[in-house]
Amino acid sequence: MNVGAMNSAVAKSVTRQTVGPAAAAALVHILVRGLAVDFIAQGRRQRALNDINLAVLKGSFVSLIGPSGCGKSTLLKVMAGLIIPSEGEVRVADISPQEAVKARLIGLVFQEATLLPWKNAIENAAFLLMTADAAMKRSEAMDRAAMMLRLVGLDDAENKMPSQLSGGMRQRVAIARALALEPEVLLMDEPFGALDAITREEMSECLLDIWERTQKTVVLVTHSIDEAVFLSREVHVMGTGPGRIIETLPIALTHPRTEDSYSDPAFTVAENRLRGLLIEGHKRVRR
Amino acid sequence: MSDTTIDTTVPVSGHIRRRLDNFLPALMLSACVILFWKAVIRAFRVSAFVLPAPSAIVVSLVENASALAIAAKATALEVLFGFVLSAVVGIAVALVIVRFERFGRALYPLIVLFQNVPKVALAPIFILWFGYDLAPKIVLIVVIAFFPVAIDMLAGLQSVEPAFVLLMRSVGASKGKIMLRVRIPHSLPHLMAGLKVAITFSVIGAIVGEFAGANQGLGYVIQFASTQLDTPLIFAALIVVSLLGLAFYYVVEFAERVFVPWAPKFDPIQSAG
């Protein structure tokens, strides 16, 4: 049975007409229906994403994986309200992404930590929160930032400047900065893409720990099959020309996941299946 | 990288030694040049009128000390006012170009075009318009020195990581807020680089302005000395000009260290090697 089709079916069937808004919001946190995004490139209209349907359940951890140019980052930016779709509908907690942003429901993490070099770790972690909420007292924002730095394991680096932090630590600050907004949804665009292999695994475990503790809805864009399998409950495999979801793969690994999960047979099964799908998509492009 | 970490850990005495180590080679090279200079004058019997011996320049420096000091003060004043105004104009131009994009697109090519006008040729016009005193020199300095400030500030304002702008937008920050909280602070290291160029341009502008018409200042002294065929005095004045420029440059560099401590440390020798 094609799971992707099933997921699309869920997305299509969950409408505000058939189910009450509150019930739909409780079940489906992010809903994307019939989404298409066109870009104007060199004077020509190009379709970056076509007919995307997906539903992310509340408290779920979902990954988007696919080759470069499949539009996975674009899809994430649509969910974050940073790109207006050309067709279709996107709902976050049953409101538009733009409204969700205003309600501070969305936290963003990018590949680069993008910390301000003139502020230390805790000021960086508090920065977005203070920007988002001008009325908030500085001390309150700093308290919350300190709490989030503890959550990401940076208790003793509060006063360090970004130039004194390693790549992994900077990315932890970036995650703390997103969490300080106390969002319901965490959208992450290859957050560990610039880190070395071991730091990456460390960060994966850190993220998993945060997710298990905070029960936020997480959408992760990644290139790494390992990362997608280890972290996600569900992986959407995307393809190019134009960008679309090829298949949706539920990950049957048991929770809580630990280092031992890597050697779980279910891990290998999911990993091979994902690799197969990605190679298949790759071949299709070359033809 | 390792250099900056060492910098914070060495004791003060070590720090002073390091600075000495930095200056010692330059001092030694200067001494060699002066010795060579003297040797050439001895060997070829060059007349003091063409190229004075270093000792003759020192004598002239001492003899004319008070006159040179008064002249230096006048020039320094021009440089100071001119530089500050250049900074203000340069920063304002950059902010206007970024803030009002359409106007900026119209303004930018005109500024670049204007930059290609030889400023020396403008000096007589400014004398004509603004008289003989401080004003024409300041205007000339601004015309010469605002450009590096504007260009570097512009580069700084525009080079903020796009991801950071997205992040700001994602929490609903307005353009003005992004400008104030992110773009402007981010541009400061670039601005300081522009100011370092501007301060040296300012000294040049002051001298050029004085050449075109003045009754005081180091440029005036140089011109006066050349009419008197007093070559040692020309060189003495040149030395004072250089020292003045050096002092101004280090003031700007000191300001950078104080106000923009996160600026990447610039070591021309290391970055070239």
* Dist CA B195 CA B152 (whole Å): 9
Q: Would you state the pLDDT for residue B7?
A: 45
Q: Is A132 within 8 Å of chain B by CB?
A: yes
b/e string for A117-149 if b means 16 or more Cβ within 10 A?
Answer: bbbbbbbbbbbbbbbbeeeeeeeebbebbbebb
* Dist CA A71 CA B158 (whole Å): 26
Average pLDDT over residues A188-200: 88
> pLDDT tens digits, residue range A4-15?
455 555 555 544
Does B262 sit within 8 Å of A117, measured CB to CB? yes
Does B163 sit within 8 Å of A112, measured CB to CB? yes
The rounded mean pLDDT for chain A is 85
> pLDDT tens digits, residue range A235-249?
999 988 788 888 898
Phi-psi region of B263 (alpha: psi -120 to 50; beta: other; left: phi over 0): beta
Q: Is the pLDDT of residue A196 over 80?
A: yes
Q: With bands split at pLDDT 50, 70 and 90, how would you rate the model's confidence at B75?
A: very high
- On chain A, the residues whose CB falls within 8 A of the CB of B177 are 131
Residue with tokens 């060579």: B36
Tokens encoding B74? 């006048």
B144 burial (CB, 10 Å; 0-12 / 13-18 / 19+) is: buried
Q: Would you state the pLDDT for residue A134?
A: 83
Spatial CB neighbours of A164, under 8 Å, sequence gap ≥ 6:
none
Nearest-Cα residue of chain A relative to residue B165: A114
> pLDDT tens digits, residue range B123-171?
989 989 998 889 999 999 999 999 999 999 999 999 998 888 988 888 8
Average pLDDT over residues B223-244: 94
Q: Would you state the pLDDT for residue B120?
A: 87
User: What CA dihedral angle connects A219, A221, A223 and A229, to 10 degrees?
Assistant: 0
Q: With bands split at pLDDT 50, 70 and 90, how would you rate the model's confidence at B10?
A: very low
Chain A: closest CA distance from residue B110 (Å): 28
Does A101 sit within 8 Å of B170, measured CB to CB? yes
Does B170 sit within 8 Å of A112, measured CB to CB? no
SS3 of chain A: the string is: CCHHHHHHHHHHHCCCCCCCHHHHHHHEEEEEEEEEEEEEECCEEEEEEEEEEEEEECCCEEEEECCCCCCHHHHHHHHCCCCCCCEEEEEECCECHHHHHHCCCEEEECCCCCCCCCCCHHHHHHHHHHHHCCCCCHHHHHHHHHHHHHHCCCHHHCCCCHHHCCHHHHHHHHHHHHHHCCCCEEEEECCCCCCCHHHHHHHHHHHHHHHHHHCCEEEEEECCHHHHHHHCCEEEEEECCCEEEEEEEECCCCCCCCHHHHHCHHHHHHHHHHHHHHHHHHHHHHC
- On chain B, the residues whose CB falls within 8 A of the CB of A117 are 262
Considering only the beta carbons, identify the residue of B161, B181, B185 that sits closest to A114: B161
> pLDDT tens digits, residue range A30-62?
999 999 998 887 888 888 888 899 999 999 999
Tokens encoding A274? 């994902």
Q: Would you state the pLDDT for residue A15?
A: 43
Q: Would you state the pLDDT for residue A18?
A: 43
- On chain A, the residues whose CB falls within 8 A of the CB of B4 are 163
* Dist CA B122 CA B127 (whole Å): 9
The rounded mean pLDDT for chain B is 88
Considering only the beta carbons, identify the residue of B164, B171, B186 that sits closest to A132: B171
Does A102 sit within 8 Å of B172, measured CB to CB? yes
Phi-psi region of A36 (alpha: psi -120 to 50; beta: other; left: phi over 0): beta
Average pLDDT over residues A129-158: 90
B interface residues, A as partner, C-beta within 8 Å: 4, 161, 163-164, 166-173, 177, 181-182, 185-186, 188, 260, 262
- On chain A, the residues whose CB falls within 8 A of the CB of B258 are none
Q: Would you state the pLDDT for residue A46?
A: 85
Candidates A258, A183, A243, A154; CA nearest to A30 is A183
Spatial CB neighbours of B255, under 8 Å, sequence gap ≥ 6:
B192, B195
Q: Would you state the pLDDT for residue B269?
A: 66
Q: Would you state the pLDDT for residue B68?
A: 94
Nearest-Cα residue of chain B relative to residue A134: B173
* DSSP conformation letters of chain B: -HHHHHHHHS-HHHHHHHHHHHHHHHHHHHHHHHHHHHHHHHHHT--TTTS--HHHHHHHHHHTHHHHHHHHHHHHHHHHHHHHHHHHHHHHHHHHHHHSHHHHHHHHHHHHHHHTS-HHHHHHHHHHHH-SSHHHHHHHHHHHHHHHHHHHHHHHHHTS-HHHHHHHHHTT--HHHHIIIIIHHHHHHHHHHHHHHHHHHHHHHHHHHHHHS-SSSHHHHHHHHHHTT-HHHHHHHHHHHHHHHHHHHHHHHHHHHHH-TTSPP--HHHHH-
